[in-house]
Amino acid sequence: MPSPPADAAPRAASSAAPARRGLVLLAAAGVLWGAGGPAGHLLQSSVGVAPMAVATYRLLIAGLLITAVLAATGALRRLPRSRAFAVRLAANAVLHAVFQLLYFASLSLIPVGLATLVKIGSVPVFVAAGACLLARRRPTGRLAASVVPAVIGLALLAGFPSVDASPARLAAGLACALGAGLAFSAMTLVNRRPVEGLPPLVNVGLGMLAGSVLLLPGGLAAGMAVPARPDALALLAFLGLVPTVLAYLAYFRGLQTASDAGAAVGTLAEPMTAALLSALFLGEQMTVPGLIGTALLAVSMSAEPAIDAVRRRLRR
């Protein structure tokens, strides 16, 4: 057997380092996103901000901050003036608005951990179904193997709540969480093909800002007044900055070098962080069926490369 080149080990080490950094950044993005649910819940339960107003504030603060960064770096000077750009921006604005509104509505009805697990756990199912419909192909065995655990896990998560919630309230909360997952999945499929001259961070920043404009009339009608208390203002700033702006910056930076396994870790980190934080600080507890359902969702989300393969076919 021929011996490897003398510089093979240094080359392998140098190529592995960016992948590790990407993995760390994607995991950090997932953890930061996971803190968004508890923060939004506290704004509703402790500060008294309505779900519509919380969603508006999150998109508005994050959209303004990301747009300011983009303007400072000159990224907004080279925006395309095309119909494709306008259509993509409008679609993302609507989907961002619907996604945030439904997610925070679900937090007002059911536990944070349950809402986040259902929201993220339903994405593999919706994306797989949408990808197969768009490709006009039947799901492969590998794809079905990644989706079936998610369906079973979502059904078992009905046993998650440890609070007294009426069946109607639980059903409404689950419907909102599933709707948020559907909106996120639609955003994933809409953005499967990049628009020429529209970088991902610009796409997200302008989409959030435009989405906040769509929600603003409803937010004002619901009441966007926030008590002038340090804790309330700090919580609002935290929601817009940490689990939104910083999370997206880490996510897009990590995607540049991370592997598919790294992307799966980042996907898993969000719901697991939300469930852990809600258990530690909000007193939420998970039942045995909920634990089994969570494990099945983890299996499904870790198999997302199979779904990515279908999405890649759609780009051809």
Which of 78-92, 151-165, 250-264 has the weakest average pLDDT? 151-165
Residue 138 has pLDDT above 50, yes or no: yes
Rounded CA gap, 121 and 215, in Å? 26
Neighbours of 231 (CB within 10 A): 11
pLDDT higher at 39 or 5:
39
Q: Which helix (H) or strand (E) holds 111?
A: none
Q: Which residues of 194-219 are buried (b: 16+ CB within 10 A; e: fewer)?
A: ebeebeebbbbbbbbbbbbebbbebb
Rounded CA gap, 26 and 33, in Å? 10
Written as one letter, the residue type at 240 is G
Give the pLDDT confidence score for residue 4 in this predicted structure: 42
Q: Are 177 and 59 in contact (CB under 8 A)?
A: no
Share of the chain above pLDDT 90, in %: 45
Evaluate the CA torsion angle 257, 262, 266, 267 in order and state its sign.
positive
Q: What is the mean pLDDT of residues 55-65?
A: 97
Q: What is the mean pLDDT of residues 36-54?
A: 95
Residue 88 has pLDDT above 70, yes or no: yes
Evaluate the CA torsion angle 298, 194, 250, 42 in order and state its sign.
negative
Name the band, by pLDDT with cuts 50, 70 and 90, for residue 259.
Answer: low
Rounded CA gap, 169 and 240, in Å? 28
Name the band, by pLDDT with cuts 50, 70 and 90, for residue 315.
Answer: very low
Q: What is the mean pLDDT of residues 63-81?
A: 92
Give the pLDDT confidence score for residue 264 in this predicted structure: 63
Q: Are 278 and 113 in contact (CB under 8 A)?
A: yes
pLDDT per position as a tens digit, 153-208: 777 776 555 556 788 898 899 999 999 999 998 998 898 888 988 999 999 999 99
pLDDT higher at 261 or 240:
240
Residue 300 has pLDDT above 90, yes or no: no
Residue 3 has pLDDT above 50, yes or no: no
Residue 286 has pLDDT above 80, yes or no: no
Q: Which of 158, 133, 137 is nearest to 294 (CA)?
A: 158
Q: Are 68 and 142 in contact (CB under 8 A)?
A: no
DSSP letters for 155-188: HHGGG---S---HHHHHHHHHHHHHHHHHHHHHH
Rounded CA gap, 39 and 45, in Å? 10
Q: Are 247 and 8 in contact (CB under 8 A)?
A: no
Give the pLDDT confidence score for residue 314 in this predicted structure: 39
